[in-house]
Amino acid sequence: MIVVRREAQLLLVTQPDHAHFAAELLGLRRQDGLSGHPRREDILFAAREHDNGWREADAAPRIDPSTHRPLDFRDCPTGLRHEIWLRGVARYAASRPYASLLIAEHALALHRDRKGPDWEGFLAQILELQEELAERSGYAAGAWLEDYRFLAWADAAALAALGVWPRFDQPLGRGEETSGTLRLDPFPLAGNTHFDIACRWIPERPYPDAQDLARTLAESRWTRLRVGVLPW
């Protein structure tokens, strides 16, 4: 779950909803050959499903024991993070191996600097899955890295739009969020546009347990967060 503090409220966006926005944004990209790319469908599928492993976790949000607020994805404990990403890479391995290959690369990009025996074992599992997916897709080692740039850019842009990382710099461009507006440089879309991201708002207060959070979420209405996308 993405948790953003805004005044006296918490903005909650599920990872799958964030990923859906990332794919919408990427689908309108008119630079770097994506519009006529031979693997465009798989690239967009990977962008839309790159956080699919979070579905189960976001369906039953947890409490951060140190803050008694909803657990933000950045503070996810190691064991749960391993479970989420192994599931996310494997879910579409049979039906969409190339898209799963890009999701595996995303898992590696996010975690390859982690240290320790637990992380070594996890990264080895992801690399093994990636080798299997590359063989099934018919791609030589590393050949998918050019395509992964699209997913990395879309993920960073979608997070910046929510104010999680308000500035980013990726090989395909940089971005900055200011007051609900995402500004991009270079501007890769056909024109200025707006997106609606599914979200919920809850009070910014301590939640003693997961049951209290679940009750609050059940009583909160789903709404849409409007985000403008403009040139930097």
- How far, in Å, are 19, 78, 92, 101, 128 from residue 122 at the CA level? 23, 10, 19, 16, 10
pLDDT in tens, 8-60: 999 999 999 999 999 999 999 999 999 999 999 999 999 999 999 999 999 99
Find the helix packing angle between 117-137 and 97-111, rounded to 10°. Answer: 150
Provide the pLDDT confidence category of residue 232 given band limits of 50, 70 and 90.
very high
> What pTM did the predictor assign?
0.95
Q: Is the pLDDT of residue 180 over 90?
A: no
| Maximum pairwise Cα distance, the chain | 51
**Which candidate, 37, 225, 1, places its Cα nearest to that of 144?**
37
At residue 49's C-alpha, the angle toward residues 202 and 15, to 5°, is 15
Whether the link from the prior residue into 117 is cis, omega within 30° of 0, is no
**Lookup: tokens for 127:** 């690399």
Q: What letter would DSSP give residue 52? A: G
For residue range 132-145, list pLDDT tens digits in order: 999 999 887 777 99
Kindly report the number of other CB atoms within 10 A of residue 15's CB atom: 20
User: What DSSP letter does each residue of 167-199 carry, written as one string?
Assistant: EEEETTEEEEEETTEEEEES--SSS-EEEEEEE
Is the pLDDT score of 111 beyond 80?
yes
- Token pair, residue 57, equals 């976790």
